[in-house]
Structures are given as structure tokens and as C-alpha cells.
């Protein structure tokens, strides 16, 4: 199905319609799929994860590579399928609607979920303290690659940041929280740059395309649910400051992405230990992934980056 370019569009449209209804979905992903399918799945699923309405899982036990099973269950219907590996086209897929059948498959779905493990840890504002603790632990002793759609504030000169906050007319409480975060993160960044490589990938829009992507400040770590956008001139000043920082720090590698896939989503790949996917727009959500194959998929799915 993934080889048909129209299928992912139709499938994701159906998923989006369910999410729009306010449903919460429990999805067990097959992490043993061929690598190209993993890459396609990442690109399709990440925007859906950002709604906070999906709980992703995986089955830790080794999967049968001959008999394939498929199960989707809702409150009013169940879809079950079976096939032999490599012969899915001749598989059998049956839709059940009777109350008795749906109840039976709801029980089976719960039993299946009981065998699954969370594919990632999900942190919202109510778990902010725990997220920050896990974040500090993840960064300890590792190089990292940060793919940005919004700029992390700790990479900016203080004067430039203060100017942006002044122009954005942030209130005193928000401003104080951002500055306090800036100071503590600057210390962490300087320690990181002394000991480990930091690979920073930022958007590279020209003046004509800037409006459509409009990079801003990355504030997801603060769980502020507030957006502070940048003008083209401010963004250009930020890039100039980043270039200077790169010249002064041999452990900082700056690269530019002319056509980012995602907007308002930052991805941080920390060695081979974990991946943190952060949604900047409200509601703020962080996804922390430790599954080795998923980390490898993230390391390889990023589109080609060019120097500029």
C-alpha cells in the first residue's frame, strides 16, 4: 500500500478526520517494517502526534514473519485482516458491525495493548519538571543534532533576544521566565560546546518565502504556549549572530535547510540515545523516543541539507 503514492494521502486524511472529531487513538506501530516504510511513516505520523490525541506503542517481542495480522477497533465497528507475508493483496479483510462482534474485538484489542510498550514518552505541561530532568540526563555526555523550525533562544546574543522580546511586547511574567531560561540554558550550551559537537540545522527562507514559514523563537521547553515570531530583518540578524558563534566555537556546526518539511516542530537527536520531538505551537508537547530503530530512522529521514 505504501508503494501507491495516493494511499498515504487517503489514509492520513481518514486519520485526520477521526482526530478532528476529538477521538483519542491507540496505535501499535510495526517497527520491524522495511526502512523506506519507516521513513514514510515518520513523515506522515509526526504531524498527527502533535495533536496529542495519539498514544503510540510497539510490540517488544519478535514478530512472526509469515502470518500477518491486522486489527482496527472503534466503538461501533471492527476491521480484522490476515495475510501471508509478501502476499497481502490476497489477504482477507473483514469489517464487523454487530454489537457482539465489536465487543469481542474490543476485548482482543485491549489484550493486544496489554502486550505492547509505549513507543515514546509524551510530556505535557503537567509533566514539565519530569521532562526537564529527563532532558538534562539525555544531554549529559553526548553530541547532538538539532533540526529547528524555530530558533532556540539560547543560541542568540542577549541584546538581540531582549530586542525581540521588547518588540513583541511580552508581559513581565513571560519576559522574566524567558530570560531566566535563557541564562540557565546558556550555561548548559557553553558546557556542551566545550565538550561535545553541536550540529544546528536552521531554516533558510529568502525574503519572498519568509511569510509562509515565519520562523520564531523556540519556547516549547518553557511550556508557555506562546508564539513570538521574528521579522525577516530580525531573523537575518539571528543568522548573522549564529555564523559568528560558529566561527568562535569549533564544536558548533551550522547548516541551512532551504525547504523544511515541518513548521513549529523542533527535533533534537542526542547521539544514539534518544530523540526529542517538540511541538512549539499550543498545546506544547514533547515526545522523547528511546527505541533504537526509531532513533536510526530519525537520523536518516532528515532531507538533504545544503550549505548557504
CATH number at residue 186: 3.30.870
Together in a domain, 164 and 288: yes
Q: Is residue 73 part of a domain?
A: yes
Q: Is residue 1 part of a domain?
A: no
Q: Could you say which of 97, 121, 145 is where a domain stops?
A: 121
Together in a domain, 133 and 115: no
Together in a domain, 86 and 147: no
Answer yes or no: are the C-beta atoms of 299 and 41 closer than 8 Å. Answer: no
Q: Could you say which of 76, 98, 121 is where a domain stops?
A: 121
Q: Is residue 41 part of a domain?
A: yes
The per-residue pLDDT for 1 is 66
Q: Is residue 229 part of a domain?
A: yes
Cα 22 from Cα 43, distance rounded (Å): 22
Together in a domain, 155 and 267: yes
Residue located via cell numbers 476529538: 22
Together in a domain, 18 and 79: yes
Together in a domain, 102 and 133: no
**Number of domains, the chain:** 2
Q: Is residue 165 part of a domain?
A: yes
Instruction: List, for the chain, all residue ranges whose pLDDT scores fall below the cut of 50.
Output: 303-308
Q: Is residue 308 part of a domain?
A: no
Together in a domain, 128 and 227: yes
Residue located via cell numbers 501499535: 28
Together in a domain, 132 and 205: yes
Together in a domain, 97 and 236: no
Instruction: Write out the residue range of the structural domain in which residue 16 sits.
Output: 6-121
Together in a domain, 131 and 276: yes
Q: Is residue 306 part of a domain?
A: no
The per-residue pLDDT for 2 is 65
Together in a domain, 33 and 94: yes
Together in a domain, 276 and 210: yes
Q: Could you say which of 75, 105, 121 is where a domain stops?
A: 121
Q: Is residue 148 part of a domain?
A: yes
Amino acid at each position: 500500500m505504501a508503494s501507491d503514492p495516493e494511499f498515504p494521502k487517503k489514509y492520513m486524511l481518514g486519520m485526520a478526520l477521526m482526530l478532528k472529531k476529538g477521538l483519542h487513538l491507540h496505535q501499535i506501530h510495526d517497527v520491524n517494517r522495511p526502512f523506506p516504510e519507516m521513513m514514510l511513516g515518520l513523515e506522515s505520523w509526526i504531524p498527527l502526534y502533535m495533536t496529542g490525541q495519539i498514544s503510540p506503542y510497539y510490540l517488544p517481542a519478535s514478530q512472526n514473519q509469515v502470518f500477518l495480522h491486522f486489527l482496527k477497533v472503534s466503538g461501533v465497528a471492527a476491521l480484522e485482516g490476515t495475510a501471508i507475508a509478501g502476499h497481502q493483496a490476497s489477504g482477507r479483510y473483514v469489517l464487523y458491525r454487530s454489537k457482539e462482534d465489536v465487543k469481542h474485538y474490543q476485548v482482543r484489542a485491549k489484550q493486544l495493548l496489554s502486550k505492547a510498550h509505549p513507543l515514546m514518552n509524551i510530556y505535557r505541561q503537567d509533566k514539565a519538571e519530569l521532562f526537564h530532568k529527563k532532558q538534562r540526563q539525555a544531554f549529559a555526555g553526548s553530541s547532538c543534532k538539532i533540526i529547528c523550525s524555530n530558533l532556540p533562544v539560547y543560541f542568540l546574543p542577549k541584546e538581540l533576544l531582549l530586542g525581540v522580546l521588547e518588540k513583541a511586547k511580552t508581559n513581565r511574567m513571560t519576559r522574566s521566565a524567558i530570560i531566566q531560561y535563557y541564562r540557565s540554558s546558556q550555561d548548559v550550551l557553553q558546557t556542551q560546546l566545550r565538550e561535545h559537537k553541536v550540529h544546528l540545522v536552521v531554516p533558510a527562507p529568502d525574503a519572498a518565502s519568509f511569510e509562509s514559514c515565519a520562523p520564531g523563537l523556540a519556547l516549547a521547553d518553557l511550556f508557555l504556549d506562546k508564539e513570538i515570531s521574528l521579522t525577516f530583518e530580525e531573523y537575518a540578524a539571528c543568522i548573522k549572530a549564529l555564523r559568528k558563534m560558529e566561527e568562535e566555537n569549533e564544536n558548533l556546526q551550522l547548516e541551512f535547510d532551504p525547504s523544511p518539511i515541518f513548521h513549529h516542530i523542533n527535533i533534537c537527536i542526542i547521539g544514539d540515545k534518544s530523540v526529542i520531538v517538540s511541538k512549539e505551537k499550543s498545546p506544547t508537547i514533547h515526545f522523547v523516543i528511546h527505541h533504537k530503530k526509531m532513533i536510526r530512522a530519525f537520523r536518516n529521514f532528515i532531507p538533504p541539507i545544503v550549505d548557504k
